[in-house]
Amino acid sequence: MSAASSSPTSPTAPDDCGVAHLPPSVLALVADFFKVLSEVSRLQIVCALKSGPHNVSEIIEETGLGQANVSKHLKILTQAGIVTRQQQGTSVIYQIANPFVFELCQSVCDALAAQMQQQNQQLAALQGLR
């Protein structure tokens, strides 16, 4: 929490996202996290893991992605700390490291749905001008 948000004499503005005062080196870490999630195949894998831990074969089956593609993206997701891997016999089991990633995705989906609804209303208003 920033000093500004904890001080009673200087309340945080409602639109302060909480990262406004972070140094660029920390913001770079935040940007890297979002970069990892900015790829469709990685989002498919994250969604596949929402129901629980899976091995590579199960992820391939659920996503329809190829084995090499899944392995490459799982490595990236693991390095980013979004996914954990655990050896179980001859299989490697992957799972989401922190379920907040689903809340983040849901927030983005909700915001996009609201934006699309507003655009549809504007389009309908424009079509009404004909």
Contact by Cβ (8 Å): 59, 13: no
Contact by Cβ (8 Å): 21, 2: yes
CATH code: domain 20-97 is 1.10.10.10
Q: At what angle do helices 67-79 and 56-63 cross, to 10 degrees?
A: 110
% pLDDT > 90, the chain:
76
Question: Is it the case that residue 4 has pLDDT exceeding 90?
Answer: no
What are the boundaries of each domain within the chain?
A: 20-97, 99-130
pLDDT at 14: 53
Confidence of residue 130 (pLDDT cuts 50, 70, 90): confident
pTM: 0.76
